[in-house]
Structure 1
Amino acid sequence: MTPESLSPTGTDEPVGTPPPGCPAHGIGPGGLRRLYGPEAEDLGAVYEKLRAEHGAVAPALLHDDVPVWVVLGHTENLHMVRTPSQFCRDTRLWSALQDGTVKPDHPLMPHFAWQPICSHAEGEEHLRLRGAVNGAVSTIDHRGIRRHINRATQQLVNKFCEEGRAELVSQFAEHLPMVVMCEILGMPEEYNDQIVQAARDMPKGTETAIASNAYLMDVLMRLTARRRAEPEDDFTSHLINHPARLTDDEVGQHLRIILVAAYEATANLLANVLRVVLTDPRFRAQLNGGQMTVPEAVEQSLWDEPPFSTVLPYVAKQETELGGQRIRRSDALILGIAPGNVDPRVRPDLKANMQGNRSHLAFGGGPHECPGQDIGRAIADVGVDALLTRLPDVQLACEEDELSWRGTLSNRHLVELPVKFGPKPQQDVMARPAHPLASQRPISRQVGTPQPQTATPEPVAPPVAPMQASEATGRPGMFQRLLRWWRGN
């Protein structure tokens, strides 16, 4: 069966719609399963039905019954993204866009519409644009950004630490990535609730998405003009000054895709990691026992709950075969990140620990692999660790089954993550952290368990004797070296 086989009977007879609850419910023209509507509220279950029916590559229907292939296999997804001679991201080649099957008002048009950016370009143009992005990414001071993530986390936690309760999606996970991305791009003054809401709203295709997009582009084009006139040592300036000589429009469009994609992915990742740490007995036991670091917990989350469930579409540049299916030239395919990550051929036991295994599909692969994945990991690593350090007794403030999710074809994220903890005093955000290298060693705190109260205050500095000894020898002691590291000296 091919995804373009839209006529179920070959006649003009009307086809009845099965009632809700019927096994055929959610089946569209041609007997194909729909990836939208109330029938597809649990897309994970739909993917598994498709896998059982068709194997690693399955035909399905997008909104308005637009045909598409869903790549469900881990190996098949990697082959698709790593073989640009056969598959590309240039949606102008997609037959459904060429012949009008996809209407201009299609709800997924923001994903389909071709743009002059590296993620849609091929060949020499892709090398030029991606080279500029990679060059700008290479200039990011990762040590300085990790310090900024820590300080931003302290500022966010300060806003609710005295209350003893918080909602970690809206008060933490949705803000930390934007604070960091504004700093990286060179516009820290633009961080506020409005830019957070616009970045969350724009990819959803809501009634306000166009206004949100206009607001973001206004912010980014003003930044582009400012840095074109007065360059500084930030991502935007390096993107502008790269030998690829991007135009202002190209700079602005790339800044938008980088800001929105990085924000959305990292906000989802932060919420997912925090949920797992608070609810999953495997993680709580291993964290408490000092056997799993926060970075390892992040990688497990990237396997089990990737920030983006799918990326669409890829387009076949020629007739080919994938996963036992004949793919026609100009057919569209979905990069199935979530279903590929649970492919039983690579994960026969979904409860098995994937510690140390980074072969998940969360960041794509091939020429269009996410260029900023290390920044996303750093935000999650440092942010989660710093929050748990400030609130070691944090625990879920509701039953796990009361948590709700909002899912689309592109991603699935938590709506809320309410927590409670013993009230804590605010902290000086510029102070030396309790353990600045914490994300590089195992965690031994009791997550989700109230801590016994003692009269001993938290240590704020190493013992005096070692410092005096170091001063006597003229060499800086451990405290002084850590302090210099923290300040970036």
Structure 2
Amino acid sequence: MSDPAGHYGDTLPPPGCPAHAQGAGPRRMYGPEADVPYALYETLRKEHGQVAPVLLPGDVRAWFVLGHRENLEVMRTPSLWSCDSRIWNIRLSADSPLLPVTAWQPLLVFADGEEHARLRSAVTDSLARFNRHGVRRYVVRYTDQLVDEFAKAGRADLVADFAQKLPILVLARQFGVPEEDALPLGAAVRDMVKGTETALQSNQYVLTVMSDLVKRRKEKPADDFASWLLAHESALTDEEVMEHLRHAIVAAHENTTNLVANTLRMLLTDRRFRANLSGGTMTLPDALDQVMWDAPPLAMGAARWARRDTRLGEQEIKAGDLVMLGLAAGNVDPEIRPDLGAPVHGNRSHLAFSSGPHECPGQDIGRAIADTGIDTLMARLPDLQLAVSEADLSVTQSLVSSRLNNLPAKFTPRAVGRKGEGAAPAPALGRAQPLPATAPAAPVPPQAPAPAPRRSWWRTLLGRG
């Protein structure tokens, strides 16, 4: 294969080695084939086994891990698989679309050993200070506000009107971002992740918001994630704090948005799924686990690079080779899930949050937002139904995720206020406005009171409780 940039290393074994034993070369992980990812996973598995040679955008050669066990092997063996992209045996061109996810940055996701331990301790210790009950109170508060925005209409797009808004409203409060800046920040994050023509502008906006947050919290610390990172004994630099805030808000918002959207989609389109919930044979946390097996928020995990020549699956991997972790592919590995139709309630051995030293440190917060948010939404709107044919739902596939773009729903119109029982209208949140040049500072809103107990929404569906 030609090398227009002249920078491709010898990242695939020559013809005759195991990767080419069946006469199949590397397949592209972008373009038409990648638009049907699970079919591509099956094809790759048949042609190459649990580890396959692939071509990334720009025809950059890499390895893609399809096996559940092989994914765990890479994740749990940092002595052999590095997160530091500076050891890559390929140099990308300056305009490569892979740069945002592979270029080394001063982040724990690109760190190994002692440096990773230093950075991760600051993040995990700071996340551990989150008040979990307080997080759930804010989820209920913002869910009620969002429902009040569309309750009277009897219709809503649960992606644009709910899944894309709830996580950033809750996360912004915990990070220290003013409430009025939350939705513009969320819109910028989504635009950046989509890779649109304005993605660079959106990335700069996110950087500006986080830089301003660091400056404010250095002058006036508060009870939030930014302040805790700045004060941590790991002595992160201002740049490290800003970069970790940016990375955390992007990862948390994107993953939690996809988790909420995918769970609601399954709830509204899969009768068995909703029946199991309403019948009491599945709890909502169980349902989230099922979704994280079948439709994980991220299809692909952070990359790894081989420290030395080694063997993975049936493939010979060279030192410096790029290895992509197939989270969604590993979750449907027939060696561990021979019957994909069988429920996996309560089984959390999925790969959605990775594993090993780089396992997602904030996974319980994302689960809490999704769990409480969906529960509150369904308690308010127990007769929620899909308003269009399932074929009318739009999904955008990318290298790292499968993003649901719309989820039109209908329900019985209700008065504004909690359960329509005369509560005062919440402040209007509305749709995010065009991105401002800078993020204005504003006082952090006071903590909302705990909501009154309510009956389970799946019991409401059946007229129980």
Deviation at 1:89, TM superposition (A): 1.1
Counterpart of 2:354, as a letter, is: G
CA contact (8 A) 2:308 2:320 kept: yes
Counterpart of 2:56, as a letter, is: L
Deviation at 1:8, TM superposition (A): 7.9
Corresponding residue for residue 420 of structure 2: none
TM-score, with structure 2 as normaliser? 0.87
Taking a change above 3 Å as real, the CA distance of residues 399 and 49 of structure 1, as seen in their structure-2 partners, is same
- The reply on whether 1:409 has 2:399 as its aligned counterpart is yes
SS at structure 2 position matched to 1:357: coil
CA contact (8 A) 1:157 1:387 kept: yes
CA contact (8 A) 1:319 1:328 kept: yes
CA contact (8 A) 1:87 1:314 kept: yes
User: Separation in 2 of the partners of 1:240 and 1:190?
Assistant: 23
- The reply on whether 1:444 has 2:462 as its aligned counterpart is no
Matches within 5 A, 1:67-82: 67-82=61-76
Output one character per residue of 1:172-213: Cα deviation in whole Å (capped at 9) or x when no partner: 000000001101101133534421211001123322111111
SS at structure 2 position matched to 1:64: coil
User: Separation in 2 of the partners of 1:264 and 1:373?
Assistant: 13
Aligned length: 423
Corresponding residue for residue 262 of structure 1: 252
Corresponding residue for residue 445 of structure 2: none
Corresponding residue for residue 52 of structure 2: 58
Corresponding residue for residue 121 of structure 1: 111
- The reply on whether 1:400 has 2:418 as its aligned counterpart is no
Counterpart of 2:69, as a letter, is: T
Corresponding residue for residue 335 of structure 2: 345
User: Separation in 2 of the partners of 1:89 and 1:190?
Assistant: 36
User: Separation in 2 of the partners of 1:190 and 1:223?
Assistant: 14
User: Separation in 2 of the partners of 1:301 and 1:244?
Assistant: 36
Amino-acid identity (%): 49
Deviation at 1:436, TM superposition (A): 5.5
Counterpart of 2:367, as a letter, is: R
Counterpart of 1:398, as a letter, is: V
SS at structure 2 position matched to 1:310: coil
- The reply on whether 1:293 has 2:304 as its aligned counterpart is no
Corresponding residue for residue 11 of structure 2: 4
Deviation at 1:300, TM superposition (A): 0.5
- The reply on whether 1:237 has 2:255 as its aligned counterpart is no
Which runs of no fewer than 5 residues in structure 2 stay unpaired? 1-8, 17-22, 418-422, 427-447
SS at structure 1 position matched to 2:388: coil
SS at structure 1 position matched to 2:303: strand
CA contact (8 A) 1:33 1:60 kept: yes
User: Separation in 1 of the partners of 2:334 and 2:454?
Assistant: 39
CA contact (8 A) 1:316 1:329 kept: yes
User: Separation in 2 of the partners of 1:73 and 1:435?
Assistant: 44
Counterpart of 2:11, as a letter, is: E
Counterpart of 1:48, as a letter, is: E
Matches within 5 A, 1:322-401: 322-401=312-391
Corresponding residue for residue 218 of structure 2: 228
SS at structure 1 position matched to 2:311: strand
Corresponding residue for residue 149 of structure 1: 139
1:278 to 251, 268, 274: 268
Counterpart of 1:354, as a letter, is: V
1:207 to 197, 206, 213: 197
CA contact (8 A) 1:404 1:416 kept: yes
SS at structure 2 position matched to 1:444: helix
Taking a change above 3 Å as real, the CA distance of residues 254 and 386 of structure 1, as seen in their structure-2 partners, is same
TM-score, with structure 1 as normaliser? 0.83
Counterpart of 1:56, as a letter, is: Q
CA contact (8 A) 2:11 2:318 kept: no
User: Separation in 1 of the partners of 2:216 and 2:455?
Assistant: 36
User: Separation in 2 of the partners of 1:243 and 1:437?
Assistant: 44
CA contact (8 A) 1:182 1:188 kept: yes
Corresponding residue for residue 165 of structure 1: 155
User: Separation in 2 of the partners of 1:192 and 1:220?
Assistant: 12
Counterpart of 2:303, as a letter, is: P
Deviation at 1:431, TM superposition (A): 7.7
Matches within 5 A, 1:416-427: 416-427=406-417
CA contact (8 A) 1:294 1:443 kept: no
Output one character per residue of 1:111-150: Cα deviation in whole Å (capped at 9) or x when no partner: 0111001111111111111110011011000011111101
Counterpart of 1:324, as a letter, is: E
- The reply on whether 1:435 has 2:425 as its aligned counterpart is no
Deviation at 1:434, TM superposition (A): 5.5
Corresponding residue for residue 180 of structure 1: 170
SS at structure 1 position matched to 2:108: coil
Deviation at 1:446, TM superposition (A): 2.3
- The reply on whether 1:302 has 2:292 as its aligned counterpart is yes
Which runs of no fewer than 5 residues in structure 1 stay unpaired? 10-28, 453-458, 460-489
CA contact (8 A) 2:25 2:53 kept: no
- The reply on whether 1:105 has 2:95 as its aligned counterpart is yes
Output one character per residue of 1:292-344: Cα deviation in whole Å (capped at 9) or x when no partner: 11111111100000000002421011111111211111001011000000000
CA contact (8 A) 1:60 1:68 kept: yes
1:92 to 86, 105, 113: 86
- The reply on whether 1:132 has 2:122 as its aligned counterpart is yes
User: Separation in 1 of the partners of 2:27 and 2:302?
Assistant: 17
Taking a change above 3 Å as real, the CA distance of residues 8 and 55 of structure 1, as seen in their structure-2 partners, is closer
Deviation at 1:152, TM superposition (A): 0.6
CA contact (8 A) 2:108 2:116 kept: yes
